[in-house]
Structure 1
Amino acid sequence: MAVNHQKVVANYLNKHKVTEKQISNSQPTSKDKQGIYADKSRKPRFIKRKPPPVIHGKANISHLPDELLLELFEYLDAASLLTSACVCKKWQEITNDNSLWITIYKNYAKFKGRPVIPTGKLPLSYWKDLCLKRCSEERNKNVQKMMKRIHLYTGLPENTVKCLKKCGITYQLTTLDNHGVERSYRSSDIFYHTMSVSIRWYNLQGLAIKSLRKLKILSCNPLFFNSQGVVIPNSPYQRSLLTEVSIKWENWKKENKPIKEDENIQLYKISNDILLATWKADGELAFIVCGFHHNNFINRCLLGSYKCQYEPKEHKVISDDIDPNYGLHHYKCTVELRNIRQSIWNQQFQGLECKQNNIVNNICALILRRSNDVTDRLPVDKQIQLPWKTELFKGIVKDVCWLDVTLLDERGEVFWSLSSPVYTMSKETTKNVAMDFEYKDESKLEMTIKTVDVEVLIQLNEMDDGTRFITHLELQLDISLVDTWFGTSYRIPGKQVTEKQTENTISY
């Protein structure tokens, strides 16, 4: 057996013996510093392989070769791939591989016929970027079709709530503390109203309000839908910034008092969008509520980005040289008082106007209800209060609610809108014998909310039995807002108030 074995080995060596001529022909004409062929098109027969990396301790998944990791990532869905891309740079490159995303593209992107595969070398994330782009465009296209119908009562898009639900849009609260630590929380509750949406967070574990530096509210917009238009489970989503507030809580609290409170919590109005509650016992955060008006809300959700809010298209001015009071008449306004869950009071006012000689200090006042008209008061049947709850507690804060306003111009376009928390402020008790006996003893209350261009004034009278009536309701518009919208020139710099004009204003 040994002799036969030697013969087999000798024959193998003779067949594979390299002659001197073959060696001379295989020598490279030029070498680089490592001894590799300078001619990159020719490969050497023998290349010295790099030694395997030294592993200290136990081996982990990061030591696997890229080819094996790619095979593992083939079992993940799109959302998991996007999450894995955030682990490290190596994983980001592998999860962006075109071989992974072309299959996802074929399953979820809308296209006619077969997908056109471009020739040549493709960028690393070509199919990923194209897939997310096509899915986003298709979703937005379907939404725009649904938003064409206008509600006859409010003048807002009729299917806003339907679109929000069908698109599966959820909301996220993101906080940043003094140490740069960012935390995110999904909304606990979502409530839809006639002209707005309410969102609430009360499961805020690990958030210390004393170190709070920034608050962000974002919408999370799914991208993948099935053939019936239903969001698939665990779909990847885009985030869009809705509102952002920079706040150093300890400094801010010294300058701002709570607007209302009960035996358990104190309410703070952070902005016209956000209401924040803290516990009386320890001053920690209890819950956060925000409200957004339906006007442009769908576009704010779908067309914004993580860092920048959606900017509406510039309004196209339609001028009118015939009407001398153009832009001062035929307004329609819908006003609603509500809490987080339900409506408290709602009414619409039509034919609103302001005469040109009644513009005082460049303020155009639209009177929805006059205080001197005692025969036509607006009863508020439900209590003005804000019910609240957390995982363990619940309660009611009185004399605070949410105000929604939609103001339409004479063409039925949304001229101005508002959704903001408001609260009542008590005034002195008045006794007016000229009034009917039923309104003899009244307690005067006021609610005001001011934005950059508009101030809303609401006056209420409360009877001894607790019945409340809205006796005065007014919108004060900066005349520059009217000039910008209608292309007029009513604003007069430095205009003084005359005695005749003060007679037309309302004093409180």
Structure 2
Amino acid sequence: MALNMASANVTYRNNVVSDSKGSRPVKQMAAPKAVTSRVRAVSTFKRANKSSPASTLNFMERLPSEILFKILSYLNVSALFSISHVNKLFNQLANDNALWNKIYVAELGKNKRWKPNRIDEMRDRDEGYWKWLYFKTVAECDMDHSLRRLGLISRYTGLPFQTENVLRSNNVTWELTVSDKSGHKATYEPSCSEFCETSVTLCWTGGGCLPNYHQMSTLQLHGVRRVALDCPGLKAPGFRSLMAKLDVQDLTKSARVIGQDKLVALKLLQPGVIIGIWRDQCSVAFVMFTLHFHRLVERSILGSAVCPYVMPVIKPPFDDIDPEYGLHGYQLHIVLHGTVCNIMSQSFSKLFCQRTQISDGLIQLTAISRTIHSRHTPLSCSITLPWRCEALQGTVENCCIMSLTLLDEFKKPFWCVTSPVSMELEKTPVSYDYDGEHYLIHYKDSDGQMKMKFVWMKEQEQFVLTCLVVYVTVSKVNKHFSREY
């Protein structure tokens, strides 16, 4: 489309068209959006020429708009995206639908799934539509390829082997949006992310940027899938998936301190979320989220900016022959770790519960019994949770992160939890087989409970795990297996 508007027989002005041969008004019509976009770019270029002397203008900006569009048409995606951040003129030129439609058709048009029809190409679109569609389609192509890589499953955890690799190779990261009581919002990228065997720990340090603990209103965690571009110093285009939205003021009522050292106190808002607060102050040292690998890729990329990904309900086949269907064949994989290294990692198979053992609405699955000494497990290191914040760092004793994965008899994830937990001294130990102090880790949520008991061997200077029991609610089992226990 020629852009020399002075030589055109028809001019557009305020949506009224005048014939160049006279001033007789002609029937009102709107200019096509593609024309409007380029006219806006040309007008911006003319205003720049009027407001600044030619000697001070950049050489590129003094070129006619037709030449600029021709130059931009030779740029690749990364260069075109980068140049859109130079100034307002180049932003308008680099968002031109014709440029991005050409790129879209050339790179993605061969695929039948993404190939646009001629009607879509010719239809008027908002400025930047084809740019947005190109990045969205590229992200979906990468996502489809990534989800296919998740097919290889670990026999011990029941989780995909490639979870960490898929997240890293697809430039998936996470963002925390913090709102205060005044309505102000700010979004932060994680200061660090530590991958473990079945979970990832994300940490955002304060550095004076986060509002005081009592001023926080909401926390929102988004997974962000970014398109791979070679744009040093620029954030690549990304698509957000809501993973959690927490009302801090409401959760503060039930929040509890699970550990502290000389500098910080750890407040557990809910399972998987803690806030580190400077001792004797209200300022936030860091915010930590722990995320289990179960469906983590899907949760991080398949939701929308306002709605989380909805996990599919996978129900096992109904069995009307086995009288204790849903009470046996469980497999447990449990990991205790800090933010850097593993403390313990172990799997237990063939866990079961008899109908007569169901008590208080809970099904008991015993992995390590106090009376079977051969199963007692010494830990490789002490139970601690290291933290780091700007120039300061510390270690909270008797705290760690627990990642629990319970599989049903079909080796499918049945109950998956990752959360910071604390270890407390038992005042009245029930075991006299060991001479030492006895400790308990007790986790509880709406789906079940987990209890781990330890004894501190002073001479060996290590903890020994003497009991591990998982309790699952009867309602969860009944719903999953279609039973009526």
Fold agreement, TM-score > 0.5: yes
Amino acid of the residue matched to residue 145 of structure 1? R
Aligned counterpart, 1:356: 355
Q: Deviations over 1:135-163 (max 9, x none)?
A: 13211111122111111221111111110
Mark the CA change 1:266 to 1:81 in structure 2 (over 3 Å): closer, same or farther. Answer: farther
What TM-score, normalized to structure 1?
0.75
Helix, strand or coil for the counterpart of 2:356?
helix
1:266 paired residue number = 265
Q: Is the 8 A contact 2:251 2:270 kept in 1?
A: no
Q: What displacement does 1:449 show?
A: 1.3
Instruction: Give the structure 2 partner of residue 443 of structure 1.
Output: 437
Counterpart of 1:327?
A: 326
Distance in structure 2 (CA, Å) of the matches to 1:83 and 1:317: 52
Counterpart residue identity of residue 264, structure 1: L
TM-score (norm 2): 0.78
- Structure 1 regions of 5+ residues with no counterpart? 1-34, 42-51, 491-508
Counterpart position of 2:33: none
Quick one: which amino acid aligns to residue 118 of structure 2?
Answer: P
Please tell me whether the aligned partners of residues 352 and 368 of structure 1 are also in contact (alpha carbons under 8 angstroms): yes
CA distance in 1, matches of 2:176, 2:338: 21
Contact 2:179 2:218 in 1 (8 A): yes
**Residue 298 to residue 40, structure 1, CA distance change in 2 (3 Å):** closer
- Cα shift at 1:255: 5.6
The answer to whether structure 1 residue 123 and structure 2 residue 125 are counterparts is yes
Match of 1:212 in 2: 216
Change (3 A) 1:94 1:410: same
* Closer/same/farther in 2, CA of residues 452 and 137 from structure 1, 3 Å limit: same
Q: 1:86-165, aligned counterparts within 5 Å? A: 97-106=96-105, 109=108, 111-112=110-111, 116=116, 118-119=118-119, 120-124=122-126, 126-165=129-168
* Distance change >3 Å, CA 432–CA 243, structure 1 → 2: closer
Map of 1:486 onto structure 2: 481
How far off is 1:262 after superposition? Answer: 0.6
Q: 1:431 to 1:451 in 2, by over 3 A?
A: closer
> Equivalent residue of 1:259, what SS?
strand
Contact 2:218 2:245 in 1 (8 A): yes
Change (3 A) 1:376 1:106: same
Which residue pairs with 1:37 in the alignment?
A: 25
Q: 1:432 to 1:77 in 2, by over 3 A?
A: closer
For the 8 Å contact 2:318–2:482, the answer to whether it is kept is: yes
- Aligned partner of residue 427 in structure 2, secondary structure: strand
Q: Which AA in structure 2 matches 1:455?
A: Q
Q: Unpaired runs of 5+ in structure 2?
A: 1-22, 30-42
Aligned positions of 1:30-429 closer than 5 A:
36-37=24-25, 39=27, 97-106=96-105, 109=108, 111-112=110-111, 116=116, 118-119=118-119, 120-124=122-126, 126-202=129-205, 204-209=207-212, 210-224=214-228, 234-248=235-249, 256-280=255-279, 282-428=281-427
CA distance in 2, matches of 1:135, 1:362: 49
Distance 1:300 1:40, change over 3 A: closer
Equivalent residue letter for 1:424: M
**Aligned length, in residue pairs:** 428
Structure 1's 169 and 39: CA in aligned 2 closer, same or farther, altered over 3 A?
A: closer
Q: Deviation of residue 38 (structure 1)?
A: 5.4
**CA distance, structure 2, for counterparts of residue 142 and residue 246 of structure 1:** 36
Task: Provide the identity percentage.
Answer: 24
Q: CA deviation at 1:233?
A: 7.3
Deviation at 1:430, TM superposition (A): 4.6
Whether contact under 8 Å (2:216, 2:248) holds in the other structure is yes
* Counterpart residue identity of residue 180, structure 1: G
**Considering only aligned residues, what root-mean-square deviation do their CA atoms show, in Å?**
3.7
Provide closer, same or farther for how the CA distance between residues 297 and 418 of structure 1 changes in structure 2, counting only shifts above 3 A.
same
Cα offset, 1:288, TM superposition: 1.7
Whole-angstrom CA distance in 2 between matches of 1:259 and 1:354: 31
* Matched residue, 2:455: 461
8 Å contact 1:78–1:235 — kept in the other structure? no
| Aligned counterpart, 2:36 | none
Write out per-residue CA displacement over residues 27-70 of structure 1, whole angstroms, 9 at most, x where no aligned residue: xxxxxxxx8535459xxxxxxxxxx99x9xx9699xx9xx9799
Counterpart amino acid of residue 448 in structure 1: H
Q: Give the structure with higher Rg (CA).
A: 1
Letter in 1 for 2:159: L
Letter in 2 for 1:154: T
CA contact (8 A) 2:426 2:438 kept: yes
Shift of 1:178: 1.3
The reply to whether residue 473 of structure 1 matches residue 472 of structure 2 is no
